[in-house]
Amino acid sequence: MFDYLPYIREWNFPHIWCSGCGDGIVLKALIRATDGLGIHRDEAVMVSGIGCSSRTPGYVDVNTLHTTHGRALAFATGVKHASPNLNVIVVTGDGDATAIGGNHYIHAARRNIDITVLLYNNYIYGMTGGQVSPTTRKGDRASTAPFGSIEPPFNISGLAKAAGASFVARGDVYNVKKLEKLIKLAIQKKGFSLLEILSPCPTAWGRRNKMGHPVQLMEWLRDSTVSMEKWEKMTDEEREGKIRTGVLHDVARPEFTDEYAKLVKRLKAEK
Amino acid sequence: MPVKISDKIRMMTGNEACAEGAIAAGCLFFGGYPITPSSEIAEYLSRRFPIIGGKFIQMEDEIGAMGSVIGAALTGMKAMTATSGPGFSLKQENIGYASMAEVPCVIIDVQRGGPSTGMPTLPAQMDVQQARWGTHGDRGVIALTASSAQETFEQTIHAFNLAERYMTPVVLLIDEITGHTTEKVTLPDYDSIERVDRKRPTEPPETYLPYKYTDDCIPTLAPFGTGYRYNVTGLCHNETGFPTNDPKEIERLILRLTEKIVKNRHEIINCKRTMLDDAEIAIFAYGSVARSARQAVLQLREEGIKAGLLEPTVLWPFPSEIVLKIAEQVDSFLVAEMNLGQMAREVELASKCKASIHRLNRVDGSPISPPQIVGKIKEVV
């Protein structure tokens, strides 16, 4: 039995998440992953914005920074640039990272700064009561889309890849072992690593869209997610309604703090 | 770039003097975004920081720049940004965060005219109330001003010292005239500069409380990565740094954020006085306007008019007690400023009707000249 206690701030429990929420599953997978990598807690900084997912750092016994809405990546960039030896993990959500924080998202990816981003995609603004978010699917109902959303959703993994992230992956809260493995890979990767984690909100999204029971949402994840290996062998018809999970993109690109260190070295040599 | 006149004397703009002052203060992080008329500060530091061990980054926007500064400051670095009116507006939410989480940092605002895009290349003093009330919520505020390149150099160092001493963001408000005027700056011996560094915890991590209530109301935040693992949040929090909904804890925090500045105001407030001892009319002016006012006082005295100048180098906290004392002595005040009376309101409040208050305002992007002040005083005396 894995002992979570040394990694959590027990006095902050019970957590704020609704019953049936997948965010606690991510929390546990994250703790197991960091334990497996032997990351020193004093050298880990978890930075978050505002929203349900952004409450994660408060429960983890590392250096934790709960910032303003959308700005976690900006704060994290300052931490990492100032102290490149620190292991910086950003925990954010679909609204936090790709709506109000969209600019920081694309530019942190462009810089390829060595930050690991765990982006919980719950398809909605959960904490504020279920408003439509950039990842709400077209036709889904939300408190501010009572007749169904008329907008297409963002492909947030694709966005990170296009902007320049060196590692992009997608996991979910049903395939927990796989999630743990993906978190490990994302942290290990030098450069900007984006891990999109499907953690659909039962309270604010599922309930309005005939998937209100957490078990139903788990079944949906089980049935609609497919591995990359499977995806490659599928026809376009078979891919309809399915979601790829696994490592979507993994390349070597120059990393920002390394490039800055190189610049410093070059200027010293020229002196 | 500055022109070297001698070992210690440079010809430099206010913006260059600001950047050099930051280096002298021990600042090693700059996160910024280009905006006229402040960009030369970023340009100067982008050249210097990689050579002297500092970290420079041009962020994707003004909001991100402020965020990066707070993040860097939490690792123990002295960190700053520079901007102007529109950028200062955008930064306000994160400046409030720095107040709430008590993260020391410095924000330079080289003021231009507004509202909105306004007058990018022309001077104004229209952000002085924004410095006080720009972010939502109640909190204590420290904002400084400077009227020359020399003073900008010195006030930048002072801004870092106050930020580290009181664990708060500190704003330095200069204006386009000061930022872009090239003049003589005498640099001190950098080893002799008095630098304040934030308190470091002396207790072991097991008993450490980042926001512990102490007599001086100032918290002790350990730099990230030094073994003190704690939580920083913009939510109302208790001594541990974790969010709280306890009304008593919330009230204690919000009162402390104001009290740590108000209680220590006598250490923070500073005013320069010119010929005030026997003055019958006092000019209240700050920033580049104070330079015109100094000239005006000399001319008025030559003509037999007993004028004096009160020049606050710290605008917030406002020097209310000093203003009241002068109001009890003089017949009237003339508040000269490049806005529509933003500080005149404060002078009126502070002087408690002991003197009549006159205003000289200019909002057309032109400086207030000495003859203008002289003319206005002759009109009201």
**Alpha carbons B323 and B348: distance in angstroms, whole number:** 9
**Alpha carbons A267 and A251: distance in angstroms, whole number:** 29
Give the domain range for residue A251. 5-270
Contact between chains at A82 and B233 (C-beta distance less than 8 A) = no
The predicted structure's pLDDT at residue B381: 86
Using an 8 Å Cβ cutoff, are B370 and B364 in contact?
no
Report yes or no: B234 at the A interface, CB cutoff 8 Å.
yes
Report yes or no: A79 at the B interface, CB cutoff 8 Å.
yes
Residues of B in contact with A107 (CB under 8 A): 59-60, 64
Contact between chains at A67 and B97 (C-beta distance less than 8 A) = yes
**Alpha carbons B262 and B316: distance in angstroms, whole number:** 10
Rg (CA), chain A: 18
Q: Please, which pLDDT band fits residue B84 given cuts at 50, 70 and 90? A: very high
Predicted-complex ipTM score: 0.97
Over residues B252-293, the pLDDT tens digits come to: 999 999 999 999 999 999 999 999 999 999 999 999 999 999
Short-list B259, B266, B161, B162, CA closest to B216:
B259
CA distances to B43, B83, B172 from B48, rounded to whole Å, are 9, 19, 21
- The minimal CB distance from B72 to the residues A78, A104, A264 is found for A78
Contact between chains at B57 and A62 (C-beta distance less than 8 A) = no
Q: Please, which pLDDT band fits residue A40 given cuts at 50, 70 and 90? A: very high
Residues of B in contact with A96 (CB under 8 A): none
Check residues B215 and B368 and name the one with the higher pLDDT: B368
Helices (H), chain B: 14-25, 39-52, 62-73, 85-101, 128-133, 149-166, 176-180, 247-262, 265-268, 288-302, 320-329, 344-351, 370-380
Contact between chains at A68 and B93 (C-beta distance less than 8 A) = yes
CA dihedral sign, ordered B317, B322, B325, B327? negative
Contact between chains at B67 and A67 (C-beta distance less than 8 A) = yes
Using an 8 Å Cβ cutoff, are B15 and B42 in contact?
no
The predicted structure's pLDDT at residue A14: 94
Q: Which residue has the tokens 């005219």?
A: B113
**Alpha carbons B126 and A143: distance in angstroms, whole number:** 41
The predicted structure's pLDDT at residue A19: 94
> If residue A238 lies in a helix (H) or strand (E), which one and from where to where?
helix A236-239
Residues of A in contact with B30 (CB under 8 A): none
B25 phi-psi bin (left φ>0, alpha ψ -120 to 50, beta other): alpha
Q: Which residues pair with B237 in a beta bridge?
A: B243
CATH superfamily of B3-192: Thiamin diphosphate (ThDP)-binding fold, Pyr/PP domains (3.40.50.970)
Residue B192 tokens, joined: 């002799």
CATH code of residue A194: 3.40.50.970
Count of alpha carbons within 13 Å of A83, Cβ hemisphere only?
26
Q: Say if residue A252's pLDDT is above 80.
A: yes
The predicted structure's pLDDT at residue A164: 97
Mutation target vs B (from A67, A255, A258; most B CBs, 10 A cutoff): A67
- The minimal CB distance from B242 to the residues A58, A71, A78 is found for A58
Residues of A in contact with B61 (CB under 8 A): 103
Residues of A in contact with B49 (CB under 8 A): none
**What is the amino acid identity at position B175?**
D
Q: Say if residue A271's pLDDT is above 90.
A: no
Contact between chains at B224 and A45 (C-beta distance less than 8 A) = yes
Using an 8 Å Cβ cutoff, are B287 and B271 in contact?
no
In this structure, the number of other CB atoms found within 10 A of the CB of residue B239 comes to: 16
The predicted structure's pLDDT at residue A49: 98
Q: Which residues pair with A155 in a beta bridge?
A: none
Q: Which residue has the tokens 């959703």?
A: A153
**Alpha carbons B209 and A239: distance in angstroms, whole number:** 53
CA A203 from chain center: how many Å?
20
**Alpha carbons A36 and A193: distance in angstroms, whole number:** 18
Using an 8 Å Cβ cutoff, are A122 and A90 in contact?
no
Q: Which residues pair with B333 in a beta bridge?
A: B282, B357
The nearest CA of chain A is from the CA of B106 a distance in Å of 14
**What is the amino acid identity at position A172?**
D
Report yes or no: B193 at the A interface, CB cutoff 8 Å.
no
Q: How much is the mean pLDDT over chain B? A: 97
The nearest CA of chain A is from the CA of B90 a distance in Å of 13
Short-list B260, B96, B238, CA closest to B167:
B260
- The minimal CB distance from B232 to the residues A65, A78, A82 is found for A65
Q: Which residues pair with B361 in a beta bridge?
A: B337
Beta strand spans in chain A (E): 44-48, 63-66, 87-93, 116-121, 167-172, 193-198, 225-227, 243-250
The predicted structure's pLDDT at residue A235: 96
What residue spans define the domains of chain B?
Answer: 3-192, 270-380
Contact between chains at A63 and B229 (C-beta distance less than 8 A) = yes
Mutation target vs A (from B63, B80, B226; most A CBs, 10 A cutoff): B63
**Alpha carbons A135 and A100: distance in angstroms, whole number:** 13
Can you give B105-163 as a three-state secondary structure string? EEEEEEEEECCCCCEEEEECCCCHHHHHHCCCCCCCCEEEECCCHHHHHHHHHHHHHHH
Domain count, chain A: 1
Q: Considering only alpha carbons, which residue of chain A is nearest residue B231?
A: A64
Q: Please, which pLDDT band fits residue B71 given cuts at 50, 70 and 90? A: very high
Q: Which residue has the tokens 């693992």?
A: B229
Report yes or no: A239 at the B interface, CB cutoff 8 Å.
no
Contacts for A43-46: CB closer than 8 Å, 24+ residues apart: A43/A85, A43/A86, A43/A87, A43/B225, A44/A86, A44/A87, A44/A89, A45/A76, A45/A79, A45/A86, A45/A87, A45/A88, A45/A89, A45/B224, A45/B225, A46/A89, A46/A90, A46/A91
Mutation target vs A (from B30, B57, B211; most A CBs, 10 A cutoff): B57
Q: How much is the mean pLDDT over chain A? A: 97
Q: Name the DSSP class of A161.
A: H
CATH hierarchy code of domain B270-380 = 3.40.50.920
Over residues A91-148, the pLDDT tens digits come to: 999 999 999 999 999 999 999 999 999 999 999 999 999 999 999 999 999 999 999 9
Report yes or no: A207 at the B interface, CB cutoff 8 Å.
no
Q: Say if residue B346's pLDDT is above 90.
A: yes
Report yes or no: B31 at the A interface, CB cutoff 8 Å.
yes
Partner A, chain B 92-151, Cβ-Cβ below 8 Å: 93-94, 97
Over residues B122-165, the pLDDT tens digits come to: 999 999 999 999 999 999 999 999 999 999 999 999 999 999 99
Over residues B220-261, the pLDDT tens digits come to: 999 999 999 999 999 999 999 999 999 999 999 999 999 999
Mutation target vs A (from B94, B233, B237, B239; most A CBs, 10 A cutoff): B233
Residues of B in contact with A46 (CB under 8 A): none
Partner B, chain A 172-201, Cβ-Cβ below 8 Å: none
